[in-house]
Amino acid sequence: MLQGTLVPKPHLFTHKDDYINLSEIVRDFPSVNEVTINSPEHYSSLLKELNNELHSIPLFLKDNTGFIHIISSLDKTFEIEKGNVLMYIGKTIV
């Protein structure tokens, strides 16, 4: 993990996930879970919870038009809105 002012390039996976972790989670929890977002704060708390859970990986965010975004590709200008759907694989958290 990089420290200091260096920022890792965006990837599909979070800094703690790799191919082996992904394949093990998909094997153990093969379904994609979806959680409807109530607010930007709700989204942030869900991401924090998912990042702290070893057996879950947040992957996508479906916006209110139905377009699916890769979470790691979202920049700070993207507005999280009520009704967006967080999509992740792994252990159910909600």
Tell me the residue range of the domain where 66 lies.
19-90
Mean pLDDT in the chain? 85
Q: What is the pLDDT of residues 18-27, one digit of tens each?
A: 788 888 999 9
Q: What is the pLDDT of residues 38-71, one digit of tens each?
A: 999 999 999 999 988 889 999 999 999 999 998 8
Total number of domains in the chain: 1
Buried b (16+ CB within 10 A) or exposed e, 55-73: ebbbbbbbbeeeeeeebbe
pLDDT at 1: 43
Residues 32/86, Cβ–Cβ less than 8 Å? no
Q: pTM here?
A: 0.80
- Does residue 5 lie in a domain region? no
- Does residue 37 lie in a domain region? yes
pLDDT at 82: 97
Q: Tell me the CATH number at 62.
A: 3.30.70
- Does residue 12 lie in a domain region? no
- Does residue 60 lie in a domain region? yes
